[in-house]
Structure 1
Amino acid sequence: MNDEDTAGPVSESRSAPGEAHARGADLEARRHRQSRLLKTVLKQQIRIRGMRYKDIADQLGVSVMTVKRYLNSERVPVETLEDIGACLGLGLLELAEIAKADDSGDALDLELQQETELAADYALALMRLLLYSGMTVPEIMEEYAIDEPTVVRLLARLDRLKLIELLPGNRVRIRGTRHVEWRPGGPIRRTIENDIRKNFVAMDFANTEEFFGYESVRLTKSSIRQLEGHMRNLVRQVRTLHRIDQGAKSEEKQWYTLFVAQRETNWGFPVNQGQRLIPRARGGPAYPSLPATLPHGDLDPDR
């Protein structure tokens, strides 16, 4: 009798450590998988931005070998991955969103197909933009007075492209990250460039009463990397403002486009016959471009 009374509790107490160990192992496996996904995303984003591990190392104040170890070691603190993401202008939540999108089996295989179809159909691309901005289908229909068959056709195409999940009642669930990094040289980048040339640059900046900034300065490579970081942070701040204004009434909001860019400008010094001398310290063409440019000019007042 006494043996039976004690057998149950002893058996239960022995099984509890085993269950706790299993739960701990499962948690550790999930953390390891999440860390692996984040490191994969970081490597992809470094390539997409045309950066090198040395660029990351310089910003973190560590060696290139240390950065490689961070991105390839089994156990890396999430804070370290967050620091690397900050060098790319990406927060931990944005990295997680990208990782979630890339974790689906065929997400990367469809990337070029997605971009190609969006670039070829303005209505399809605009519908994606509106949905990813947080607008609901009823809001879009009311805002643009679009008939339901047209909306359903576009939603079905976005669903086939795996950009959204079309639910009953024309409700949608966004698939992947809301803020896409379009591939350099890809169809969407070319479409955006054409739009900038045709519509944005053609605006009357000279007479605008809104903020307009234009600075031409000489910077080191280190300062240029810092500048690019500030530019990415500005874009992130705009996204934050967008999220804050999600709850505002539609009539209180207006669409705005933020264009943030920088480029190398080797100012050419004008000489005879419309030719220009380029700075001796830099190779490459003069800015602005002219038919003829003489090499090896000297614009450095310190020489």
Structure 2
Amino acid sequence: MAQTTELIEMLKKLLKRHNKTYAEVAACLELSEASVKRLFSEQNLSLQRLDSICALMDLEISDLVREMSSEQIHTISELSQAQEKEIADDLNLMMITVCVLNRWTLKDILKHYRFTEAQCIRYLAHLDRLHIIELQPGNRIKLLTAPNFKWRENGPIMNLFRAKIESEYFRTNFSKRGEKLVVMNGMLSDTSNQLFQRKMAQLAKEFDAMSKDDSSLPIGERKGSTLLIGLRDWDYERLFKQK
């Protein structure tokens, strides 16, 4: 599944590189634009459709695989413990990191946050040294993270979330238009639990894919959205146990 995600991400990059829109892909596949977006989101492209999309760019599927393999050499899927700690220890650096992972430009960051250009460039240079980005001429930002990039489990960033962000995250009644909270309790077999965890992983990939799809939109048309998915061995009896 990881390679499927990377292949679809590379396909989208190549479409953008060749100035091909979803509308053109839809016409090529004789589908609606909404159907095409759903196919990309669900990562449900048949070889025949994949071949047709590649042909739209005068490419072969082998060219797509070659491009993906070439890019993987230069991308990272996870930081080291020490690298994450550098970011977690500086909340300004953490903020800049989240911005670049969401494909913000230097101009976007300066417009929305109270950093001087010199401060911002210093933080971006730090991320360049960590190989999260490549700071290019004109202070353009090239993201070097792989499509399956994630924070370390129980690493400094996740611990920071638990210590400082988790309580603030739940300080709402989740009634606004862009909010939703679902809490369910039930009894599952080990098999069903593992199956549901795989569905959760797929949902997380769809969230990430949609985020990448929307990355070309202006900042004003995007809002920071944090998805938290959890499943654990827990029942309401714990609430009523006496200490």
| Same fold by TM-score greater than 0.5 | yes
RMSD: 2.9
Q: CA deviation at 1:120?
A: 0.3
Native 8 Å contact 1:133 1:178 kept in 2: no
Sort the Cα spacing of 1:203 and 1:99 in 2 relative to 1 into closer, same or farther, 3 A: farther
Structure 2 counterpart SS, 1:288: helix
**1:82-115, Cα deviation, whole Å (9 max, x unpaired):** xxxxxxxxxx9xx97777535xxxx98x611210
**Which residue of the other structure, out of 68, 75, 79, is the alignment partner of 1:101?**
75
Native 8 Å contact 2:103 2:143 kept in 1: no
**Which residue of the other structure, out of 183, 188, 192, is the alignment partner of 1:219?**
188
Sort the Cα spacing of 1:179 and 1:142 in 2 relative to 1 into closer, same or farther, 3 A: farther
Q: CA deviation at 1:144?
A: 2.3
TM-score, scaled to structure 2: 0.63
Unaligned runs of 5+ in 1: 1-37, 39-91, 269-286, 293-303
Q: CA deviation at 1:220?
A: 0.6
Q: CA deviation at 1:162?
A: 2.1
Structure 2 counterpart SS, 1:166: strand
* Aligned residues with identical type, % of pairs: 24
Larger Rg over CA atoms: 1
Q: What is the match of residue 288 of structure 1?
A: 239
Native 8 Å contact 2:74 2:144 kept in 1: no
1:252 aligns with 2:221: yes
Structure 2 counterpart SS, 1:211: coil
Q: Give 2:95's aligned amino acid.
A: L
Q: What is the match of residue 132 of structure 2?
A: 163
Sort the Cα spacing of 1:153 and 1:178 in 2 relative to 1 into closer, same or farther, 3 A: farther
Report the number of matched residues: 177
4+ runs deviating over 6 angstroms: 95-99
Structure 1 counterpart SS, 2:100: helix
Native 8 Å contact 1:132 1:178 kept in 2: no
Q: What is the match of residue 17 of structure 1?
A: none
Q: What is the match of residue 122 of structure 2?
A: 153
Q: CA deviation at 1:121?
A: 0.7
1:229 aligns with 2:203: no
Hey, what's the Cα distance between the residues in 1 that align with 2:145 and 2:213? 21
**1:42-71, Cα deviation, whole Å (9 max, x unpaired):** xxxxxxxxxxxxxxxxxxxxxxxxxxxxxx
TM-score, scaled to structure 1: 0.51
